[in-house]
Amino acid sequence: MSLNISYQGVSLSGEGILVEVITQLNKDLTLSGIEYEFDIESEKDKFIINLLNWIEATIVENDHILFNFLYRVDVGQQLIYSNDGLPQENLLKLILNRELQKVVLKRKYSSGSNSLFS
Protein backbone atom coordinates (compact mmCIF):
# COMPACT_ATOMS: atom_id res chain seq x y z
CA MET A 1 0.00 0.00 0.00
CA SER A 2 1.44 3.32 -1.01
CA LEU A 3 0.13 6.68 0.15
CA ASN A 4 1.05 10.16 -0.94
CA ILE A 5 0.93 12.06 2.33
CA SER A 6 2.31 15.59 2.34
CA TYR A 7 2.10 18.80 4.32
CA GLN A 8 3.40 22.19 3.18
CA GLY A 9 5.35 20.55 0.37
CA VAL A 10 6.99 17.95 2.65
CA SER A 11 6.20 14.28 2.06
CA LEU A 12 6.90 11.09 3.95
CA SER A 13 9.47 10.31 1.27
CA GLY A 14 11.56 13.36 2.17
CA GLU A 15 15.00 12.78 3.62
CA GLY A 16 14.72 11.82 7.28
CA ILE A 17 11.00 12.64 7.42
CA LEU A 18 9.74 9.07 7.77
CA VAL A 19 12.08 8.43 10.72
CA GLU A 20 10.84 11.60 12.42
CA VAL A 21 7.20 10.69 11.77
CA ILE A 22 7.67 7.19 13.20
CA THR A 23 9.51 8.68 16.20
CA GLN A 24 6.65 11.13 16.80
CA LEU A 25 4.10 8.34 16.43
CA ASN A 26 5.98 6.18 18.95
CA LYS A 27 6.09 9.14 21.35
CA ASP A 28 2.34 9.64 21.05
CA LEU A 29 1.73 5.92 21.59
CA THR A 30 3.81 6.03 24.77
CA LEU A 31 2.08 9.18 26.01
CA SER A 32 -1.25 7.43 25.41
CA GLY A 33 -0.18 4.52 27.60
CA ILE A 34 0.10 2.13 24.66
CA GLU A 35 2.97 -0.31 24.82
CA TYR A 36 3.65 -0.63 21.12
CA GLU A 37 6.52 0.71 19.07
CA PHE A 38 7.07 0.91 15.33
CA ASP A 39 10.53 0.25 13.92
CA ILE A 40 12.11 3.56 12.89
CA GLU A 41 14.24 1.69 10.36
CA SER A 42 11.17 0.47 8.43
CA GLU A 43 10.74 1.24 4.78
CA LYS A 44 7.75 3.45 4.02
CA ASP A 45 5.48 0.76 2.54
CA LYS A 46 6.25 -1.74 5.30
CA PHE A 47 5.61 0.90 7.97
CA ILE A 48 2.27 1.84 6.39
CA ILE A 49 1.19 -1.82 6.30
CA ASN A 50 2.27 -2.28 9.93
CA LEU A 51 0.39 0.84 11.02
CA LEU A 52 -2.74 -0.27 9.15
CA ASN A 53 -2.50 -3.72 10.78
CA TRP A 54 -2.13 -2.09 14.21
CA ILE A 55 -5.16 0.13 13.59
CA GLU A 56 -7.28 -2.84 12.45
CA ALA A 57 -6.23 -4.97 15.44
CA THR A 58 -6.84 -2.13 17.90
CA ILE A 59 -10.31 -1.43 16.46
CA VAL A 60 -11.24 -5.06 17.03
CA GLU A 61 -9.52 -5.55 20.40
CA ASN A 62 -10.18 -2.24 22.17
CA ASP A 63 -11.50 0.75 20.28
CA HIS A 64 -11.40 2.79 23.51
CA ILE A 65 -7.58 2.66 23.40
CA LEU A 66 -7.66 3.77 19.77
CA PHE A 67 -9.90 6.74 20.50
CA ASN A 68 -7.67 7.81 23.40
CA PHE A 69 -4.71 7.64 21.02
CA LEU A 70 -6.58 9.67 18.39
CA TYR A 71 -7.29 12.30 21.03
CA ARG A 72 -3.56 12.43 21.89
CA VAL A 73 -2.62 12.75 18.22
CA ASP A 74 -5.37 15.38 17.80
CA VAL A 75 -7.41 13.61 15.14
CA GLY A 76 -11.08 14.55 15.33
CA GLN A 77 -13.34 11.51 15.64
CA GLN A 78 -15.85 13.09 13.24
CA LEU A 79 -13.22 12.97 10.48
CA ILE A 80 -12.93 9.19 10.67
CA TYR A 81 -16.20 8.57 8.90
CA SER A 82 -16.27 11.71 6.75
CA ASN A 83 -14.25 10.29 3.83
CA ASP A 84 -14.88 7.54 1.33
CA GLY A 85 -13.31 4.20 2.03
CA LEU A 86 -12.90 2.01 5.04
CA PRO A 87 -12.63 3.61 8.50
CA GLN A 88 -9.23 2.00 9.17
CA GLU A 89 -7.84 3.41 5.91
CA ASN A 90 -9.23 6.85 6.79
CA LEU A 91 -7.62 6.54 10.22
CA LEU A 92 -4.31 5.62 8.62
CA LYS A 93 -4.36 8.73 6.45
CA LEU A 94 -5.54 11.00 9.28
CA ILE A 95 -2.88 9.73 11.70
CA LEU A 96 -0.08 10.02 9.15
CA ASN A 97 -1.21 13.50 8.10
CA ARG A 98 -1.32 14.71 11.69
CA GLU A 99 2.03 13.18 12.64
CA LEU A 100 3.63 14.69 9.52
CA GLN A 101 2.16 18.09 10.42
CA LYS A 102 3.71 17.83 13.89
CA VAL A 103 7.12 16.97 12.42
CA VAL A 104 7.01 19.77 9.84
CA LEU A 105 5.87 22.38 12.35
CA LYS A 106 8.46 21.25 14.90
CA ARG A 107 11.20 21.61 12.26
CA LYS A 108 9.87 24.96 11.17
CA TYR A 109 9.66 26.55 14.60
CA SER A 110 12.61 24.87 16.28
CA SER A 111 14.91 26.43 13.71
CA GLY A 112 13.76 29.89 14.79
CA SER A 113 12.76 30.87 11.28
CA ASN A 114 9.84 30.47 8.93
CA SER A 115 11.83 28.24 6.63
CA LEU A 116 11.18 24.52 6.92
CA PHE A 117 14.75 23.33 6.56
CA SER A 118 17.10 26.24 7.23
Q: Is residue 21 one of the residues assigned to a domain? A: yes
Mean pLDDT of the region 22-34: 96
Q: What percent of the chain has pLDDT over 90?
A: 58
Number of domains, the chain: 1
Per residue in 53-65, pLDDT (tens digit) is 999 999 999 889 9
Q: Is residue 118 one of the residues assigned to a domain? A: no
Q: Is residue 1 one of the residues assigned to a domain? A: no
Per residue in 74-106, pLDDT (tens digit) is 987 677 766 667 788 889 999 999 999 999 999
**Domain span at 64:** 12-110
Q: Is residue 95 one of the residues assigned to a domain? A: yes
Among 15-24, 47-56, 106-115, the minimum mean pLDDT is found in 106-115
Q: Is residue 17 one of the residues assigned to a domain? A: yes
| pLDDT attached to residue 118 | 44
- For the residues of the chain, what is the DSSP string, one character each? -----EETTEETTSTTHHHHHHHHHHHHHHHTT------TT--HHHHHHHHHHHHHHHHHH-HHHHHHHHHHHT--HHHHTSSSS-HHHHHHHHHHHHHHHHHHHHHHHHTTSSSS--
Q: Is residue 116 one of the residues assigned to a domain? A: no
